[in-house]
Amino acid sequence: MNNLLNKKVSVLDLIRNNSVPLMFILICAIFIPLSGFSGSYLLNEIMTRLGRNAFLILSLLIPIMAGMGLNFGMTLGAMAGEIGLILVADWQIWGIPGLILAAIISIPISILLGLMCGKLLNRAKGREMITSYIISFFVNGLYQLVVLYMMGPIIPIAHNTLKLPRGYGIRNTVSLLPMRQSIDNALAIYVGGVKIPVLTLIIIALACLFIIWFRKTKLGQDMRAVGQDMEVARDAGINVERTRIISMVISTVFAGFGMIIYLQNLGNFPTYSAHTNVGMFCIAALLVGGASVEKASIGNVFLGVILFHTMFIVAPSAGTKIAGDSMIGEYFRVFVSYAVITVALVMYEAKKRKSQSLMGQMLAQAQKDEEGKAE
Amino acid sequence: MGKQITTSLGNKTRFRQLVDSFGLPRIIITGFLLLLFISAPIVGADFATQLTNTINRFSWNAVLVLAMVPMIHSGCGLNFGLPLGIVSGLLGATLSIELGFTGAMSFVMAIVISTPFALLFGGGYGWLLNKIKGGEMMIATYVGFSAVSFMCMMWLLLPYHSPTMVWGFAGTGLRTVISLEGFYDQLLANFLKIDLSSIGINLVIPTGSLLVFALLALAMWAFLHTKTGTAMTAVGSNPAFAKAAGINVDKMRLISVIMSTWLGAVGILIYEQGFGFIQLYMGPFWMALPAVSAILIGGASVNKASIPNVIIGTFLFQGIVTMTPTVMNSAFHMDMSEVIRVIVSQGMILYALTRKTEGGR
């Protein structure tokens, strides 16, 4: 009897702890039949999007480990990756060598931006998320300054196909057609009509292995300690500020690589808006996978990509079936992305407050006990 | 020798004091705007026209910036959730037209109808923010985004029928932009309007809009000096002390959030009457950020704001927004205004968020 009760409670807990993924499984279960897509089409789309997005989302894991919350500043890395791709496209180095070169170019820019972001976030402890969010807007302004005004006169751009007609600045769209899906196609295999981009998956697996290894290193352990409690970590002799900056730098560099993988899949990108929504969608996907602001695993990344993007694929046509208007579905998926992030943030803050007040109560109880003993 | 050192030190500290009290970014922004005003006639832009544009835009935006004040006072931080108030204002605006009001009456009714929505949404929003003290700003941002994207669906689904607002061919679903001609376009701006173009100066002052703002600002100032207002400020500056003094902290915060939301609703209606159009769907999405950076440019911080901050900040921000394109274009034939606007406004928010002295809340 007691055992049964325990089991019931644990099932309830399981549901409560995974409410967001379960809700999404439900949404997908309703929308997939409504959308009328075939299974192979859906699988193909999900596979494509898994290869496209997983690396970007992995870049979010390390700042979460360091207790800095969801890194809205991953957009910085995305911009660094884009600058690398623009330069490579101008030098006309295509294919995998071009992508590797773009990644190499993005590294110093990412490190620089990551350092800046980390330093600023150290000045805004306790509100890292809103600050990193504003940093992403601020750096977007700097990105426009560089790409729209400095590319041409200061940073040499040789080809007129890239430049705006006025002679400086980059056109609104950068075409990467000669290197489109060059990683995806390199070792692709087809299983029942579903294309599996093996090389992309290997790169993603390597990133996962790096994260697993990194967690076990001294630095990774320090980072977790900082994430648990900054003061305790400081007392233990960990350089808290430095550790936090390093976590931001790694995340930004990863996001740069992730953006290059993302864009080689798409084959072209809008120069000034490709990065604006990347942070939001990656964070929403991670949260849909069951992550929270303070805890995220590699499993969350993959579950999140699959569930979130299934919803993304089927929502417009399902919306057409339900409301007779495809725009409803479009707005619905945007709303769901925002709502998921809102709910996750609310749950995180509420939990934080609850544990704080619990600690306060415990302290008060301890004091009372002490007084009782004294009498 | 020793004296020399002390004087130079004295000068330095005096300069530091000025910088500390006013803030370096604020000095740079003020200097930049002054430079724009001085260089405007040199590069051939008409000074009076520029001033008119700035004042005009000031009158559109000032109330939205004023909406920041109550929440900053009660310690809820910068109201990144302003779109929630804007959405209530938009509901009032569209319903007032749907119900067949025209002219000045449609403006009054828009405010009347949006009020219950603002109270309701603001109440829910305030309740939520009381649950998550300490993390208000990030959640406020996403509450705003969720509200706007939710209303995107509603604008399509709600049974609006007024032919001035719905898509012509489908007969349902609101248009993205609705003209206010025949409703309350320029209603306040034309009230007691001062127009000097008859004597050769291109200066037009929308007196009515400025008066309404002055009235609301005065009311806000008076409210902050009432018992409730001072209690609210106490909650913001030291919640523990306020609680000890017997102030109901949660209630004060709730009131401030509702006030902020209602001012957001009224603010967007005043913005619309100046602009002449209702912008639905993604229109309100980014409206919080300019208002936030305006009040920060005016000298407010994350937990301190006053009415002068609102006035100075809105003027400086809108001045830069309107002046940069014209001056830059005529000086360099290069429009960098968008980039400058982004860097200035976001940089200002960033500066406020990362100030160490006020970070320890």
R_g of chain A, CA atoms, integer Å: 23
pLDDT the model gives residue A4 = 56
Domain ranges, ordered by start, for chain B: 45-284
Query: Could you give phi then psi for residue B99, rounded to 5 degrees?
Result: -80, 0
* Residue in B141, B145, B146 closest to A130 by CB: B141
CA angle B164, B144, B317 (to 5 degrees): 85
Q: What is the C-alpha to C-alpha distance for residues B67 and B270, in angstroms, rounded to an integer? A: 13
Question: Å from A108 to nearest chain B CA?
Answer: 22
DSSP string, B92-116: HHHHHHHTT--HHHHHHHHHHHHHH
The tokens for B250 are 């949660």
B336–A325: do the CB atoms touch at under 8 Å? no
Contacts of A318 (CB under 8 A, 6+ apart): A30, A31, A34, A35, A329
**3-class SS at B204?**
strand
The tokens for A193 are 């009509």
Interface of B with A in 111-130 (CB under 8 A): 128
Name the percent of chain B in helix, strand, coil, to the closest 5: 70, 5, 25
Contacts with A129 from chain B: Cβ below 8 Å: 138
pLDDT the model gives residue B340 = 83
Question: Å from A41 to nearest chain B CA?
Answer: 28
Contacts with B333 from chain A: Cβ below 8 Å: none
Q: Is B346 on the interface with A (CB under 8 A)?
A: yes
Q: What is the C-alpha to C-alpha distance for residues A50 and A31, in angstroms, rounded to an integer? A: 20
| Distance, CA of A78 to chain centre | 10
The tokens for B245 are 């003094």
Question: Å from B112 to nearest chain A CA?
Answer: 28
Q: What is the C-alpha to C-alpha distance for residues A119 and B294, in angstroms, rounded to an integer? A: 25
DSSP string, B288-308: HHHHHHHHHHTT-BTTB--HH
Q: Is B149 on the interface with A (CB under 8 A)?
A: yes
**3-class SS at A70?**
coil
DSSP bridge partners of A270: A173
Per-residue pLDDT reduced to its tens digit, B1-58: 444 444 555 566 766 776 666 677 778 888 888 888 788 778 777 778 888 888 888 9
Question: Å from B166 to nearest chain A CA?
Answer: 15
pLDDT the model gives residue A375 = 57
Q: Is this prediction's ipTM beyond 0.85? A: no
A134–B336: do the CB atoms touch at under 8 Å? no
* Residue in B156, B157, B353 closest to A131 by CB: B353
Q: Is A347 on the interface with B (CB under 8 A)?
A: no
Contacts with B353 from chain A: Cβ below 8 Å: 124, 127, 130-131, 134
Are B255 and B249 in contact, with CB atoms under 8 Å apart?
A: no
Q: Is A138 on the interface with B (CB under 8 A)?
A: yes
Which of A68, A116, A134 to probe by mutation at the B interface, max B CB count within 10 Å? A134
Question: Å from A228 to nearest chain B CA?
Answer: 18
B156–A328: do the CB atoms touch at under 8 Å? yes
For the domain that residue A275 is a member of, what is the CATH number?
A: 1.10.3470
The continuous run of DSSP H or E covering A47 comes out as: helix A39-58
Q: Is B218 on the interface with A (CB under 8 A)?
A: no
Q: Is A339 on the interface with B (CB under 8 A)?
A: yes
Contacts with B131 from chain A: Cβ below 8 Å: 346, 349-350, 353
Containing structural domain, residue A304: 2-374
State which amino acid sits at residue A336: V
10-residue block means of pLDDT along chain A (375 residues)? 59 76 86 85 91 93 90 92 92 89 94 94 86 92 90 84 84 87 85 87 94 93 90 90 94 94 91 88 89 88 91 83 78 85 82 78 79 67
pLDDT the model gives residue A183 = 85
pLDDT the model gives residue B358 = 45
**3-class SS at A190?**
strand
All residue ranges of chain B with pLDDT < 50 are: 1-6, 357-361
B336–A332: do the CB atoms touch at under 8 Å? no
Question: Å from A165 to nearest chain B CA?
Answer: 13
Q: Is A44 on the interface with B (CB under 8 A)?
A: no
Beta-carbon pairs below 8 A across chains A and B: 114
Are B145 and B83 in contact, with CB atoms under 8 Å apart?
A: yes
A342–B338: do the CB atoms touch at under 8 Å? no
Q: Is A327 on the interface with B (CB under 8 A)?
A: yes
Three-state SS string across B198-263, please? HHCCCCEECHHHHHHHHHHHHHHHHHHCCHHHHHHHHHHHCHHHHHHCCCCHHHHHHHHHHHHHHH
pLDDT the model gives residue B112 = 93
B356–A123: do the CB atoms touch at under 8 Å? yes
Q: Least CA distance to B130: which residue of chain A?
A: A350
